Structure 1
Amino acid sequence: MIIDLHSHFLPAEWPDLEQRFGTPDWPWMRHTDPDHAMLMMGNRDFRPVYDACWNAERRVEEMDRDGIDIQVISATPILFAYGRPADQAAYCARIFNEAALEICARAPTRLRALAQVPLQDTDLACREASRAMAGGHVGVQIGNHVGERGLDDAGIMTFLHHCAQEDIPLLVHPWDMMTNERMSRYMLPWLVSMPAETQLSILSLILSGAFERLPRSLRICFAHGGGSFPYLLGRVDNAWRNRDIVRVDCPRPPSDYVDRFFVDSAVFDHDALELLVRVMGDTHIMLGSDYPFPLGESPVGGLVRSAPFLEPQARARILGGNAACFLRLPDTR
């Protein structure tokens, strides 16, 4: 069974959030024709999209084209509303989580959904995660930070403990990337800051000692191949060995923690995938495409299928076996 763990959706429409809350710069959809739209942030164009975001039939048609059995859909991160009051983010989580289930209901054997939560409020986030799982979601997607709070923040750690206790798998997606004027063009925030954000999140859990305090039952996956982490791990280990300020809260070399989390396969290059497999092992990588966005993989799964260095069992684990276990999916072939 081939499972794409990392794909995104947008509803065709949703309530006017600016009108509801009386504040500007909320996301909305400006449809240009029946099959195409512009995702807006207030008055600003954010991203052109097409109907695979909301049309289950189109999505399944393209899954069949690429040989994908199941796609796991999750919200586009600008829908998180982490910078808004928590009750407003909770409202957004509800409407977008229900929209995800409505899309999945049109292809119930092919589509599964990850929920979003109002991560800025620990109690509300735990409550929505549990509600969503009971309602049919198979896991939760969170952003990699809330303002200045990283994943090792006490409130977010409480949420991670909750997910471990309730057996809720997590996908961590980078968002709200660090940027400045030097990265104002060429999509550099997506090309430079996004991989750095993911590495920062992983290292925040390792170097802070958070993984020492979190139960091993926590199932957590980082998108985009773990960002910069796998390719700079040697540098991090070297810093841990030589600088006590790096290892002060981390009792073991950072490379000892790679069995505590998963990454997806969205690295787009055979050499990068080969190094990723060497660092993470083929049991901790899952197929992820970032479909249906322009920076996503096309055809989905093409990199893993064509990788000459993968043995058949390793290829099968990455293409679907690992995700089936991670999400506790039954074999629906």
Structure 2
Amino acid sequence: MTSVVDIHTHFVPRGWPTLGAGPDWPRLRVDSEAHATIMVGSTEFRRIGSECWDAVRRLQDMGEDDVDSQVVSPTPLFFSYDRDAREALRVSRIFNELALEICAPAGERLLPFCQVPLQDPELAMAELDRCMAAGHRGVEIGNHVGDRDLDDAGVERFLIHCAEIGAPVFVHPWDMPGSPRLDRWMARWLAGMPAETHLSLIAMVLGGVFDRVPASLRICFAHGGGSYAFWSGRFENAWQRRRDLVGVSERPPSEYVGRFSVDSVVFDPAALRLLVDVLGHENVMLGSDYPYPLGERPAGRVVRESGFLGAAEQAAVLGGNAERFLRLPALQGAL
């Protein structure tokens, strides 16, 4: 029987050492045994609960949601891509070790993904190798490093390494630009995040990354791939009609469908149907963004309530596709 696997969840450890001096370093204000607040200087970034660090609490919520396993990824605030690479490596190692501690009590039910100092591909590859040997199951990366997108030569070298060692990659938007228009109503999360992911998928195609990296690369984009599926027709039309500017990839954008996956955390059956229609059900995996307030609870509700997925398709989205993506032991003989 296919398991239910949530490919998109995050953790924050309850205690971490002082990361550095200065007002822009994140720290945790512990408010009670079950609650804390992530602070950046004197500004509240996010209030969190014990589900961020407590495996028992996570497992209880997973039981309520009928989820068998979670991929547990870093919270992007801690990527530290804007810092010195050695400093970012130190931060990565702190959180990677804490991720293993959080997931250890749950065995195969909580599957840790590491973070790496992506601004330095050599350090990033070395840290990924160390983490995969230590028990991490893949890596989460941000969708850009400053002005360098996923077609940057260094990032591409890292992705090739991921393909070579068989490490799955989860791409999460982060560091959305702010402005007076975007700093209201959580607009950076509501509009900026989908746009960031869409832009990075365009970079993967038009930057030629999918033409150069091995087809064995397993890469998944958060939040349903942002606005990519909705605007795929516009992308295709531009590639055909403005070949002088857009037609720089070896093939039209539609022919790269199948080279990447997206999660299902789109909150609406019509949006999920669009993902399935455009990308194929075999390229969509259950995601919830647990435990954050903009996530889906119960996890998988939209997938389970969709009336257009057949039983086999629903089972694939809920877990079968993730089992292949993660190469879980149950499927090793079939891979």
Give how far 1:101 is off: 0.6
Q: In the alignment, does 2:216 pair up with 1:217? A: yes
Given that 1:263 and 1:284 are in contact with CA atoms closer than 8 Å, whether structure 2 keeps it comes out as yes
Given that 1:31 and 1:37 are in contact with CA atoms closer than 8 Å, whether structure 2 keeps it comes out as yes
Letter of the 2:327 counterpart: R
Give the Cα–Cα distance (whole angstroms) in 2 for the partners of residues 69 and 42 of structure 1: 37
Given that 1:10 and 1:76 are in contact with CA atoms closer than 8 Å, whether structure 2 keeps it comes out as yes
SS of 2:107's partner is coil
Residue 61 of structure 1 corresponds to 60
Which aligned pairs between 1:17-96 and structure 2 lie closer than 5 A? Answer: 17-18=19-20, 22-96=21-95
116-125 vs 34-43, which moves further: 34-43
Give the Cα–Cα distance (whole angstroms) in 1 for the partners of residues 328 and 81 of structure 2: 29
Residues 248 and 308 of structure 1, relative CA distance in 2, 3 Å threshold: closer
Residue 2 of structure 1 corresponds to 4
Give the Cα–Cα distance (whole angstroms) in 2 for the partners of residues 54 and 25 of structure 1: 23
Letter of the 1:238 counterpart: N
Give the Cα–Cα distance (whole angstroms) in 2 for the partners of residues 194 and 55 of structure 1: 27
Cα deviation 1:119-163 (Å, max 9, x = unaligned) = 000100000011101110010000000000000000100101111
Give how far 1:247 is off: 3.3
Given that 1:56 and 1:104 are in contact with CA atoms closer than 8 Å, whether structure 2 keeps it comes out as yes
Give how far 1:33 is off: 1.2
Letter of the 1:16 counterpart: T
Q: In the alignment, does 2:16 pair up with 1:14? A: yes
26-35 vs 150-159, which moves further: 26-35
Give the Cα–Cα distance (whole angstroms) in 2 for the partners of residues 109 and 155 of structure 1: 32
Cα deviation 1:254-307 (Å, max 9, x = unaligned) = 111111100000000000000100011011111010000000001111110111
Given that 1:13 and 1:28 are in contact with CA atoms closer than 8 Å, whether structure 2 keeps it comes out as no
Cα deviation 1:60-95 (Å, max 9, x = unaligned) = 000000000001101100010111100111011111
Give the Cα–Cα distance (whole angstroms) in 2 for the partners of residues 24 and 179 of structure 1: 19
Residue 278 of structure 2 corresponds to 279
Cα deviation 1:37-71 (Å, max 9, x = unaligned) = 11111211001111100011000000000000001
Given that 2:240 and 2:247 are in contact with CA atoms closer than 8 Å, whether structure 1 keeps it comes out as no
Cα deviation 1:203-260 (Å, max 9, x = unaligned) = 0010122211111011100000000000000011111111023434212211111111
Letter of the 1:315 counterpart: Q
Given that 1:8 and 1:74 are in contact with CA atoms closer than 8 Å, whether structure 2 keeps it comes out as yes
SS of 2:214's partner is coil
Q: In the alignment, does 2:233 pair up with 1:234? A: yes
Residue 117 of structure 1 corresponds to 116
Given that 1:4 and 1:288 are in contact with CA atoms closer than 8 Å, whether structure 2 keeps it comes out as yes
Cα deviation 1:18-50 (Å, max 9, x = unaligned) = 2xxx33311111111111111111211001111
Letter of the 2:306 counterpart: A
Query: Unaligned regions of 5+ residues in structure 1, if any?
Result: none
Letter of the 1:232 counterpart: W
Give the Cα–Cα distance (whole angstroms) in 2 for the partners of residues 45 and 243 of structure 1: 45
Query: Unaligned regions of 5+ residues in structure 2, if any?
Result: none
Give the Cα–Cα distance (whole angstroms) in 2 for the partners of residues 179 and 233 of structure 1: 26
Give the Cα–Cα distance (whole angstroms) in 2 for the partners of residues 246 and 285 of structure 1: 30
Cα deviation 1:178-212 (Å, max 9, x = unaligned) = 33111111000000010000000100010122211
SS of 1:202's partner is helix
Give the Cα–Cα distance (whole angstroms) in 2 for the partners of residues 270 and 160 of structure 1: 32
SS of 1:45's partner is strand
142-151 vs 204-213, which moves further: 204-213
Give the superposed CA RMSD: 1.0
Aligned length: 329
Given that 1:6 and 1:290 are in contact with CA atoms closer than 8 Å, whether structure 2 keeps it comes out as yes
Letter of the 1:15 counterpart: P
- TM-score normalised per structure 1: 0.97
Given that 2:221 and 2:261 are in contact with CA atoms closer than 8 Å, whether structure 1 keeps it comes out as yes
Identity of paired residues, percent? 53
Which aligned pairs between 1:169-318 and structure 2 lie closer than 5 A? Answer: 169-318=168-317
Give the Cα–Cα distance (whole angstroms) in 2 for the partners of residues 248 and 314 of structure 1: 34
Give how far 1:168 is off: 0.7
